[in-house]
Amino acid sequence: MYLTYNEFAEIMSDSEITKDEFNTLIERAQSDIDRLTFNRITEQGFENLTEFQ
């Protein structure tokens, strides 16, 4: 998971998104990120990516 609900709530303290809504949205966002990055983040991890990636 790229972002936890607690991290989200800390960054977006005025958001009205509930934890249940967040879980649905983060799954979709994570799927989109993975698709757009050809799963490189999931497979290699952030630390192993080049600046270009």
**Quick check: helix, strand or coil at residue 14?**
coil
Closest CA to 29 of 12, 52, 48, 4: 4
What are the pLDDT digits (tens) for 30-44?
A: 999 999 989 988 888
Q: What is the largest CA-CA distance in the chain?
A: 36
Residue 48: what pLDDT?
A: 83
CA atoms of 9 and 44, how far apart (whole Å): 27
Q: Is the pLDDT reported for residue 53 higher than 80?
A: no
pLDDT averaged over every residue in the chain:
92
Confidence of residue 23 (pLDDT cuts 50, 70, 90): very high
